[in-house]
Structure 1
Amino acid sequence: MDKTMLLNMEGVKKTIVHGGSDDISRFITGTKVPFHFRTMLCDEDRTVLDDSKKVGVPMEVVIGNMFKLEIWESLLCSMRVGEVAEFLCDVIHTGLYPIVAKSLRRIAEGKDPVDWHVHTCGMANMFAYHSLGYPDLDELQKEPQPLIFVLELVKVEQPNEYNRESWAMSDEERMKAVPILHGEGNKLFKLGRYEAATNKYKEAIICLKNIQTKEKAWEVPWLKLEKMVHTLTLNYCQCLLKMAEYYEVLEHTTDIINHHPGVLKAYFMRAKAHVEVWNEEQAKADFQKVLELDPSMAKTVRKELQILHMRMEEKRDEDKLTYKGMF
């Protein structure tokens, strides 16, 4: 192994495990870099925290796109395609690793990298400790320490060599993409392609949430983005209603109502979800709130309450037959 110090980079030692191609890779803003990584503690056992090869999918970063763990961009830019290198990084470079690792683990588990429907007051976040949901990352977050990153540079793709996804866009590009994604989602909804529509709405929401994290919570720019997120989330919920995903509708609409209690459409949609899962009292309460917010909805609410009454009667008849069969 060829051991070298990375020049002009304090607190990093590099060890080349396997040499790469002879050509030096060209890294410019917008270059996409797929790579495998393994993260280890600097203990006697070199305890492995994360390993992308176990997941089977390489990690990707786009150079100049403000990736949270900036050191990875610098490390990758020192490598050649096919190279495997080990980097010992001091704590000045590893403080954000637990947050990044949480997102990567959620992706590996098939979940959203961020809980885009969860809102947390920025001020509360500053003074309260929040679990990341993984004990080893919680420990690392409480007591940051040096880490070892083993990186394998798989490929280098220049900006004109791939189609840019939303995560690879700048904030300006994300804002331009949102109305396009919104419109595509609406068209798909009208065509009855609800699952495809949810993907468009969800991608637009993630674009906005990425921008929103850079704004100060509850100030005007943040609130403008929040309103846009609500519109898209409610469109997303309309698709979920069509797909009979009623409990997820309840989750998202309740989250909106808890933080912004005057959103009429959220109450109406939550009421319809309550109807579908036979939550009679909760549905009536939400329909009542709809009338308080907009009395002109009286005719629509009466119709929905009739549907609720019929569903509850059907449920009671079904329950009677079920219990009769049991005895």
Structure 2
Amino acid sequence: MEVSTNKPYHHRQAAFSNLPEIDIGNQGLRKRILQKGTSWQTPFPGDEVEVHYSVSLKDGAYIDSSHDKKMPFRFKLGQHEVIKGWDEGIGTMKKGERAVFTIPPELAYGHAGSPPIIPPDATLVFDIEMVSWNTIRDITGDGGVLKKIVEEGEGWATPREDDEVLVKYEVRLENGAVASKSSEGVEFCLTNGYLCPAMSKAARTMRKGEKAELSVKFSYGCRLLQKGDTRNGDDIPPNANFVIHLELVSWKSVVDIMGDKKILKKIIKVGEGYDRPSEGSVAKVRYIGKREDGAVFERKGHEAEAFEYLCSEEQINEGLDRAIMTMRKGEHAIVTVGTDFLYGYKEFGSISANSVIVYEVELVDFTKEKPFWKMDTIEKIEACERKKNEGNILFKAGKLQRASRKYAIKYIEFDHTFNDVEKCQSNALRLSCNLNNAACKLKLEQYPEASRLCSEVLELDPSNVKALFRRSQAYLRTSQLENAEADIKRALSIDPDSREVKLGYKELKEKRKQYVRYEAEICSTMLSKMG
């Protein structure tokens, strides 16, 4: 439906009077949609809005139109730059929408009016078309950095805190003078920032290819006074505010492998698929290890033949190994490994104790162990037996964390398909693996986990002396003395000649004596204070 926008209201009234009218709020603001919008979104308070309008008094007297000026009217929504009826009404509009708003005097110019054009207590009728709006976001929450999107980016993803971004920018002073500029683009890590805090904060909210205009207060741009590439610092006045035109060209994802910044992986080339190597996988890789000064200290694999190794078997640096197990086939990455994972190199004196090392690595391919849910019953039992033996070797070598992982009983955990003989074999393995794992957990001081594993053994074999003894040790270390005593006495009743159990009982009795002495001292102290 076409209605001329440059005709007075009374000439158009008949053309749209049959369209439905809705109430907005409870102060008499009414809206009649002439043309529906082209999207579902509406502007937010603070957004910079562009509209075309015509306005008349309710009796039809024509007042003004943006069409006469041949340019839309621009204002910030919800910032009291226009009458209240506009802020409330235009906030309901979609892009491309056209509507007639009847605005009562309470939401317009009130009792005073706006002489000589608008009389007192005037009801106004606006024919408004929503042309567009630019979202303005208060990034810092205190007005320190206001961001206006000039050009939308691609997709939905934005950089994460540790990512490395590539941006182009231009910084201007309030008088329009260029303070700093980079047309070629600069790359920096968001955690470190670049030039000023505003750039890092804004880049985290942007999508690839997005262009934005930042209004930056001095407190968020002050580093510009010390750092820049094309400006003369003497020309920048004190406490200057800035406008930054920023484009997010791209970014490289940086993954904090352990969540503590000790292993960081920067993805240079994204891999294919979704699968990743796991413990025991055969991985084919090419990598170069470098010191902080860039000197190469290690090189594995080459173009003709990749280096092949078993994941989680201490065949390469542990930090690099953990990073590779987060990679996908064909992925290229830069892996930075901290001091916690340099013990293998300190012995040779090739790398200083306080340094980090950097690997350039490519995961060429990998082969995973057959998933246990695809194994038949014989394969499951054989796999569990093999893992248990590997765990025993690691336990004897003092590699307790890795041994504990080997003792996992996932292969035989769901044994509803096993026959009687296989059930007997799986139960024996279950007992052995859980007992060995409990021994690992005790040495690792993970006492609640050790207690849980022993309890699982006792569900299958209530008279298992090792399970009773190890659970009593876990109870003893967490000062659950009554539970510890119950388990150790039961173990002694089953095997009174066990030297290990006897020593455990002796330790428990000593612990009880210490506890009694401690209680007596506390009681004596309390009585002396009362006296």
Instruction: Give TM-score scaled by structure 2 length.
Output: 0.28
Higher RCO (CA 8 Å, separation ≥ 6 residues): 1
* TM-score w.r.t. length of structure 1: 0.44
More helix by share: 1
Structure 1 or 2, whichever has the larger Rg, is 2
Which has more strand, going by share of residues? 2
